[in-house]
Amino acid sequence: MFLAFDNWDETREGLGMAIALGKLGSLPPNDQPFLALDFETASYSRDSACSIGLVRVEGGKIVAQEVHLIKPPTRDFVFTYIHGLSWKDVATSPDFGELWEKISPLFEGVSYLAAHNASFDSGVLKACCTRYGLALPPQPFLCTVELARAQWGIRPTKLSDVCRALQIELNHHEALSDALACAKIVIDAASGRELV
């Protein structure tokens, strides 16, 4: 859910991976660095990540963006019809444990993680870290589904609906495009953008 940041420093220290519930508070300060991320999964298993998009934002500006294919633990692909990826696309890619060394620096020094439908992406991150014996990043998640509802009253709040309302370009279910859109939603909200 959307994080309520009435007291940012205390909230950040106490949440870890939790997604805070409750009364809507303020957004984190616009100068707080954050990492927007999006996972695509091969199957219903949360540890079946097959792609990740990562967008780092500092001072309200995008400073880094990466997308990586990931070899999931099994060859089972159920969601090819959604994202277009299959086993042949990822068979020679690193698994999440191997990829972590490359992507973990993007998590360092950020105050929070942002995702559209954060319960899904936080669950995938947790499952992948657990499978490969990695420490879970300590940052809380901010959910841009809840943010779009609270900030602009947008409904429905599928990523494509929010992007259409905010005129953000989107190639839905391509991990980098989804992560970029998520980052732009947070940037727009923090800057006080209004719907036209």
Report residue 102 as tokens: 């490359």
* Residue-level pLDDT at 27: 76
* Residue-level pLDDT at 26: 61
* Residue-level pLDDT at 16: 38
What is the domain extent for residue 160? 8-190
How far is it, in rounded angstroms, from Cα 52 to Cα 123?
13
Instruction: Please state, in angstroms and as integers, the Cα–Cα distance from residue 117 to each residue in 3, 42, 133, 145, 179, following that order.
Output: 12, 18, 25, 6, 12
How far is it, in rounded angstroms, from Cα 32 to Cα 85?
34
Whether residue 2 is contained in a domain is answered as no
Whether residue 196 is contained in a domain is answered as no
pTM of structure: 0.88
pLDDT above 70 covers a percentage of the chain that reads 87
Residues of the chain short of pLDDT 50, as ranges, are 1-25
Number of domains present in the structure of the chain:
1
Whether residue 3 is contained in a domain is answered as no
Sign of CA dihedral 71, 73, 78, 82: negative
Q: What is the pLDDT of residues 54-109, one digit of tens each?
A: 999 999 999 999 999 999 999 999 999 999 999 999 999 999 999 999 999 999 99
Whether residue 195 is contained in a domain is answered as no
Whether residue 1 is contained in a domain is answered as no
Instruction: Please state, in angstroms and as integers, the Cα–Cα distance from residue 163 to each residue in 37, 62, 181, following that order.
Output: 16, 17, 7
β-strand pairing of 49-58 with 112-115: unpaired
How far is it, in rounded angstroms, from Cα 191 to Cα 127?
33
* Residue-level pLDDT at 30: 81
Q: What is the CATH number of the domain that holds 97?
A: 3.30.420.10
